Amino acid sequence: MLDKKINEFEVGEEVQGFFIIKSFNVKTSSNNKKYLDFTLADRTGEVNAKLWDVKDEYEELYQAGVLVKVRGAITSWQNNVQLKVIKIRLTTEEDQINLSDYVPSAPYDPREMFDELVEVINGFKNNDLKRLVLHIVKEYEEPLLTAPAAKSNHHAIRSGLLYHLKRMIKTGKALCQIYTHINEDLLIAGIILHDMEKINEMVSDHLGIVSDYSTEGQLLGHIIMGIKKIDTVARALGIDPELSMVLQHLVLSHHYEPEFGSPKKPMLPEGELLHYIDIIDARMYDMELAYRDVPVGDFTAPVWVLDKRRLYNYKESQND
């Protein structure tokens, strides 16, 4: 029996290990029998798992955020690695497991990322933007340290939102060296606040695992929630109304299309850059994940968020 991390799984092996349940669903098979459909994760990645021999108490025992010990067989389904669960149990104190060791997390310390974010804001030349953005970031400090950037797909990991912002800020600052007509303070402020209300749109725990969307998140979404927040704080701080409106526009338009939640397309160059920086970072993250278990010289499975494209894992070293 092999003790392996998810990124070490190979089809045909039988493995065991400790994993956290990221999602859990009870489904019915074609022969009308219940089975459990899991997403299991550790710090190295996540894998879909199926348990076919279901007992009644399992529906109460196994929920998102629970750490379990699993024994199973590694299989393949539609070119994706899958775990067929043979045996599963909850962890006990005797296992001496630290839950945070098994949670997919950003590759940087969240406190360091937060402090970097505050340093960036304190570097703003525009005092109104500095006061406004710093107020919101400080208000959300505690949840921001662990919040994911999504329920699934890009940056759906502990501290994923901070990680997303960190990379976008670096990209934004680099592009401002090329496009010198851009208002850097405004662009970076838009980057910092564009997804900030995901903290309230989704219901997540201290492990960064999203259990559901909030009522407000389902009815309004993080974009509308975001512009409401900017407007409320700007009024309370006496921020220039036009600056507040322009910053709200950046948040409002960053999804670009009405079907994706933006009723307006960007009407400022800073908004145009914000949209594409967001897209770049999300897609690069999803591509990185897709390559995780793919050997050099092979194709990934179709990536749903990339229009079901299959990516080719090319490395120059294969030609050496």
- Rounded to whole angstroms, the Cα distance separating 231 from 175 reads 28
State the pTM of this model.
Answer: 0.81
Domain that holds residue 201: 110-287
225 with 252, same domain: the answer is yes
What would you report as the CA-atom Rg of the chain, rounded to the nearest whole angstrom?
Answer: 22
End-to-end CA distance of the chain: 36
Whether pLDDT at 189 is above 90: yes
Residue 252 confidence (pLDDT) above 70: yes
Which residue has 């970031």 as its token pair?
Answer: 137
**Mean pLDDT of all residues in 141-162:** 90
Phi, psi of 317 (to 5 degrees): -60, -25
Q: How far is CA 211 from CA 22, 88, 218, in A?
A: 9, 21, 13
The reported pLDDT for the residue numbered 84 is: 92
Residue in the structure block whose two tokens are 């304190």: 122
- Give the pLDDT mean for 198-212: 88
Is 219 a residue whose pLDDT tops 50? yes
**Helix H segments across 212-268?**
215-219, 221-237, 241-253
Among residues 202, 179, 176, 206, the alpha carbon closest in space to that of 191 is found at 176
Whole-angstrom Cα distance, residue 17 to residue 88? 10
Provide the domain count of the chain.
Answer: 2
Separation of alpha carbons 118 and 107, rounded Å: 19
Same domain, 97 and 224: no
Within a domain: 309: no
In this structure, is residue 306 part of a structural domain?
no
Q: Which 3 state secondary structure label does DSSP give 307?
A: coil
**How long is the chain?**
320
Does residue 215 form part of some domain? yes
Cβ within 8 Å of residue 219, ≥6 positions away: none
Q: What is the mean pLDDT of residues 184-191?
A: 98
Confidence of residue 122 (pLDDT cuts 50, 70, 90): very high
Closest CA to 136 of 210, 237, 221: 237
Contacts of residues 239-244 at CB distance under 8 Å and 24 or more positions apart, as own/partner, are 239/128, 239/131, 239/132, 240/128, 243/126, 243/128, 243/129, 244/132
For residue range 2-43, what is the model confidence (pLDDT) as tens digits? 778 887 888 888 998 899 888 888 888 878 888 888 889 888
Residues 143, 248, single domain; the answer is yes
Which of 102, 124, 144 is at the close of a domain?
A: 102
307 belongs to a structural domain: no
**Which residue is associated with the tokens 């496009």?**
179
pLDDT tens by residue, 44-69: 888 899 988 777 777 778 888 888 99
Longest CA–CA separation in the chain, Å? 65
pLDDT at 320: 46
The CATH number for 283's domain is: 1.10.3210
